[in-house]
């Protein structure tokens, strides 16, 4: 019997418990991570949503930011949702409601606009065409969501909503503007786990 992949879900803030629930249901050994050594021992890492400025400060305070960078540089899959996408981005577009200059991990060669679809009262669900995930539309929940305004040459767009890029991949790094953990559709988590399995067996 093959060993379950170890997935660290960064538990500084946000819906990390829902990510844990989905991942465990899919057979992963998923656990909340708040320390660098918990990141270092993982086969894959998920950065959940929340408030990106607050999460970013906490990552730096506990040294988790460097641990995530080292894991990514070692080829371990990393997936950021909503605020997690912002933190993975190389650049935050200035003048998109929030101030620029927020430190990020810079692992995804994209620029993102924060709160790009409006405030929380404007949160919404949408059906996305995401062929890489499956033929059926992907149900996506957006909450104070960002979107990608620029992608580098090595970044693949996996889904678009209303002309805006909302799901991207660069090698083993994924980023989505939406919250897949808030729906019953587990295909995004399955896709992430497929990257982890691929890394383990390469």
**Which DSSP symbol is given to 98?**
B
Q: Quick check: is 161 catalytic?
A: no
Contacts of residue 187, defined as CB under 8 A and 6 or more positions apart, other chains included, come to 133, 134, 138, 180
Is residue 168 classed as helix, strand or coil in its secondary structure? strand
Query: Using CA atoms, how far apart are residues 64 and 109, in angstroms rounded to an integer?
Result: 20
Query: Using CA atoms, how far apart are residues 108 and 184, in angstroms rounded to an integer?
Result: 27
Closest CA to 87 of 181, 190, 176: 176
Options 38, 161, 181, 189, the catalytic residue? 181
Q: Quick check: is 82 catalytic?
A: yes
Phi, then psi, of 67 in degrees rounded to 5? -65, -40
Q: Which residue has the tokens 């379950």?
A: 4
Q: What is the gyration radius of the CA atoms in the chain, in angstroms?
A: 15
Options 38, 82, 161, 189, the catalytic residue? 82
Options 19, 38, 161, 179, the catalytic residue? 179
Residues marked as catalytic: 82, 179, 181
């Amino acid at each position: 019997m093959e060993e379950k992949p170890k997935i660290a879900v960064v538990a500084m803030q946000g819906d990390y418990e829902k990510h844990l629930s989905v991942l465990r249901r899919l057979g992963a050994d998923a656990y909340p991570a708040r320390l660098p050594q918990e990141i270092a021992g993982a086969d894959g890492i998920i950065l959940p949503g929340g408030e990106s400025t607050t999460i970013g400060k906490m990552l730096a305070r506990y040294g988790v930011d460097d641990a995530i960078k080292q894991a990514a540089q070692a080829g371990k899959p990393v997936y950021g949702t909503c605020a997690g996408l912002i933190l993975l981005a190389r650049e935050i577009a200035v003048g998109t409601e929030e101030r620029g200059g927020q430190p990020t991990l810079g692992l995804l060669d994209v620029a993102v606009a924060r709160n790009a679809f409006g405030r929380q009262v404007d949160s919404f669900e949408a059906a996305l065409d995401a062929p890489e995930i499956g033929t059926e539309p992907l149900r996506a929940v957006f909450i104070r969501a960002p979107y990608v305004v620029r992608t580098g040459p090595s970044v693949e767009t996996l889904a678009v909503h209303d002309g805006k890029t909302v799901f991207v991949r660069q090698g083993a790094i994924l980023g989505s503007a939406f919250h897949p953990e808030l729906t019953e559709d587990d295909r995004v988590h399955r896709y992430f786990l497929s990257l982890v399995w691929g890394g383990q067996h390469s």
